Amino acid sequence: MTVPPTVPSGPPPAEFRLTPGKRILFLTRDPDLIRRQLAGERDLRMADLDPADLLDEINTDTMTPAWVCFRHRPQDLARDAYAGLIVDGKRVFETDALWGGGFEVIVAGLRKGVGSSRETAVQAEKWSGIRLSIADSFAPIHERNLINQGVLTGGYDVVTRLQAGEGIPLAEFLAPHDPITREIVRAGGLFAFSKGLREGTIEVPAHDTAKRPMTIGEKIIASHLVGDVPPYVQPGDAVVARVDGGYSHEFTTAQVHVFLEEEFGPDYQLADPRKFAVFEDHLIYADEVAKMRPFMDQIEILRDLQRAFQQHTGVQDFSARDGVSPGICHQVAREHIIEPGDFIQATDSHTCMGGASNALAYGVGTTEYAALVHSGITLVEVPESIRFELHGTLQPGVTAKDVMLYILLHHAKPQHTLNRVMEFGGPGLATLSLDERATLANMATECTARAGVVEGDEALIQWIAARRPGADLDALRAGLVAPDPGARYHGGVHRIDLDAIQPMVATPGDPDEGVPSDPTNGALVADLGEVRIDIAYGGSCTAGKEDDLDMYAAVMAEARDAGLRVAEGVQFFIQFGSESVAAYARDRGYLDVFAATGVRIIQPGCGACIGCGPGVSERGEQVTVSAINRNFQGRSGPGRLYLASPLTVAASAVTGRITAWHPGLFALSVPAGA
């Protein structure tokens, strides 16, 4: 085992220079070039590189795959930093490769850190000796995690100057940030900043924004400001805001508990635990995946630490009972916790699903969550907004998932949505159910947005009331937030004609690689050609809701009536998003439909979406079509993973190839497996 590097602590120096003998690692598109750098055989210079040679959209699953995250100590995480960067079946970074290479600067391309909110990705770099992370752009949660952990961030010009022997003044690293973030950077991270606040050595700068029209996200933040400040904000304001609630799960709670004990002692207390919660949902079926079984002891440690946190703090407990989870945290939070106008933060990137309830909700790292759950407040740089005006009505066979794959292709890929609040409204919104609206909000994080927030209406109030007997409906209505006339959208206002959207399929590698179906070509998604499948998976927070079960059942009932079932050689898994969704499916007779057509049912949980449950591929040659939210390499097994709507997933399970469903599809008498 290589001796780990010393991890710097305390404030950063007034001037950043490369430490003598330390190196810069360039994450290039050429894996052999990365390997040669790791082995000490080659050093690169920024002046000789084209930024296009650098890897774009390095996701946090690549930096710390699920099995690495089972370790809650940062120094243990670091040993397998970038274990998910696999090319031709081989790891580019072997165990101890990063911390054994003597690197203290790492350089990547566009949107570094997309995907899950896992702070482990930053910890793995920091505890390998990385002091400075360079990229063309960062995913918002990842950048915040870097700052909170005391890792500096910068652009390519910094690298060129460092390699020329120049020292970079700390002031240059501070300049792009808001006043509060500058203080966090100066302090050396969030906990050091928080300690300075408590001791009075650091003061939060006040903001004085005058009255102005605001977007939904801005209005929610403004309504949660702490202190005697004007109730108005604008993008770029640095403010302190009250948090209404949040949650963590067994993947993340262990670090929250340990960090709080380290920072505040074993008797730490939370400001108000009533609307915070823990969930056991992510790893509930890990033992059903062969590659995960060696890690069950580590997983049990995570569960034990979560139980200790819950018992210590008294937060709401959504742990498994008799081996069955109450459901995926984001779906259960919609059902039982989140209310219109809330400000919610949790340790998962799909926290933004709460935006369907007309709330501002987004994911944060474990350090940030530990700080806010302890104090009840958090630090916010007010983000810009981008609005999507929905018009018309979706055609039969088209879903909100297709809308999001369309937006990913046309707006996220060119970075229109980067670090912005995606606001959904317009007359077409009323044609979408609450579950379909939840799909829109859920996949905002796939767009590298800060959050997604949906306008509220009476349909939302009634949806909540149906799940919370005795709810104060007048109070819920009073919490509804609409944008002000004249509000400014820095990302623009974009019209989405629902009638014009076709079923979409995202090709393996990234959700923004969408391909629309060709309505003139029948059921096949034309540009894909003939794509045979081995696995179809319907579930996850994105696609395990009541409406999603309606879709799976409608397709499979049509197949049953046509004398068809799941194609030979194909496995079709459907997993419920929560216990209430499971009850809904039972009450409507869907389980009989699924049993008659060869579908395997899985009880509530995350499972295959994070590679920890039935439905993952086991071999690289396998092909999956899935209704989950992201299809990064290796996230749900080693095979090729296509993203599609619940309707497309179910139709494909019957035909044995990727097929866009439309009414009457099986009247064409498509032979099973043909």
pLDDT digits (tens, 9 = 90+) for 566-614: 999 999 999 999 999 999 999 999 999 999 999 999 999 998 998 999 9
Segments in 400-533 forming alpha helices (H): 400-407, 434-442, 458-467, 473-479
Predicted confidence at residue 238, as pLDDT, reads 93
Q: What is the DSSP letter of 119?
A: T
Predicted confidence at residue 198, as pLDDT, reads 86
The beta strands (E) that lie in 434-575 are given as 451-454, 493-497, 504-506, 514-516, 535-538, 571-575
In the beta sheet, which residues pair with residue 573? 537, 600
Domain range summary for the chain, segments of one domain joined by +:
15-194, 214-501
pLDDT digits (tens, 9 = 90+) for 110-150: 999 998 889 999 999 999 999 999 999 999 999 999 999 99
Q: What is the DSSP letter of 656?
A: S
Per-residue confidence band for 528, with pLDDT thresholds at 50, 70 and 90:
confident
pLDDT digits (tens, 9 = 90+) for 40-80: 999 999 999 999 999 999 999 999 999 999 999 999 999 99
Handedness of CA 111, 112, 116, 119 (dihedral sign): negative
In the beta sheet, which residues pair with residue 20? none
Q: What percent of the chain has a predicted confidence (pLDDT) above 90?
A: 89
Predicted confidence at residue 205, as pLDDT, reads 82
Residue 157 has pLDDT above 60, yes or no: yes
Give the HSE-up count for residue 296: Cα atoms under 13 Å, Cβ half-sphere.
Answer: 11
Token pair, residue 138, equals 């960062």
Q: Compute how many other C-beta atoms are within 10 angstroms of the C-beta atom of residue 516.
A: 19
Distance between CA 595 and CA 617 in Å, rounded? Answer: 22
pLDDT digits (tens, 9 = 90+) for 331-349: 999 999 999 999 999 999 9
Per-residue confidence band for 670, with pLDDT thresholds at 50, 70 and 90:
very low
Question: Which of 329, 209, 232 is closest to 277 using CA atoms?
Answer: 329
In the beta sheet, which residues pair with residue 642? 625
Per-residue confidence band for 267, with pLDDT thresholds at 50, 70 and 90:
very high
Residue 674 has pLDDT above 50, yes or no: no
Residue 183 has pLDDT above 60, yes or no: yes
Q: What is the 3-state secondary structure (H, E, C) of 600-642?
A: EEECCCCHHHHCCCCCCCCCCCCEEEECCCCCCCEECECCEEE
Residue 197 has pLDDT above 90, yes or no: no
Question: Please, are residues 604 and 574 in contact by the beta-carbon 8 Å criterion?
Answer: no
Mean pLDDT over the full length of the chain: 94
Predicted confidence at residue 4, as pLDDT, reads 67
CA distances from 545 to 249, 539, 582 (A): 19, 8, 9
Per-residue pLDDT, averaged over 626-647, amounts to 94
Which CATH number does 15-194 carry? Answer: 3.20.19.10
Distance between CA 115 and CA 526 in Å, rounded? Answer: 28
Distance between CA 430 and CA 434 in Å, rounded? Answer: 9
Question: Which of 62, 47, 53 is closest to 32 using CA atoms?
Answer: 53
Question: Please, are residues 373 and 234 in contact by the beta-carbon 8 Å criterion?
Answer: no
Which CATH number does 214-501 carry? Answer: 3.30.499.10
Per-residue pLDDT, averaged over 640-657, amounts to 96
In this prediction the pTM is 0.92
pLDDT digits (tens, 9 = 90+) for 464-482: 999 999 999 999 999 999 9
Written as one letter, the residue type at 490 is H
Q: Calculate Rg over the CA atoms of the chain.
A: 24
In the beta sheet, which residues pair with residue 279? 249, 318
Q: Compute how many other C-beta atoms are within 10 angstroms of the C-beta atom of residue 619.
A: 9
Residue 671 has pLDDT above 60, yes or no: no
Predicted confidence at residue 527, as pLDDT, reads 67
Residue 206 has pLDDT above 60, yes or no: yes
Per-residue confidence band for 526, with pLDDT thresholds at 50, 70 and 90:
low
Per-residue confidence band for 455, with pLDDT thresholds at 50, 70 and 90:
very high
Written as one letter, the residue type at 312 is H
Token pair, residue 20, equals 């003598």
Predicted confidence at residue 409, as pLDDT, reads 94
Residue 672 has pLDDT above 50, yes or no: no
The CA angle 281-284-290, to the nearest 5 degrees, is 140
Residue 292 has pLDDT above 80, yes or no: yes
Residue partners of 62: CB distance under 8 A and separation at least 6: 82, 84, 85, 632, 633, 634
The number of helices, as runs of H, and strands, as runs of E, in the chain is 24, 26
Question: Which of 581, 580, 550 is closest to 399 using CA atoms?
Answer: 550
Q: Compute how many other C-beta atoms are within 10 angstroms of the C-beta atom of residue 286.
A: 24
Per-residue confidence band for 673, with pLDDT thresholds at 50, 70 and 90:
very low
Distance between CA 252 and CA 348 in Å, rounded? Answer: 8
Give the HSE-up count for residue 215: Cα atoms under 13 Å, Cβ half-sphere.
Answer: 28
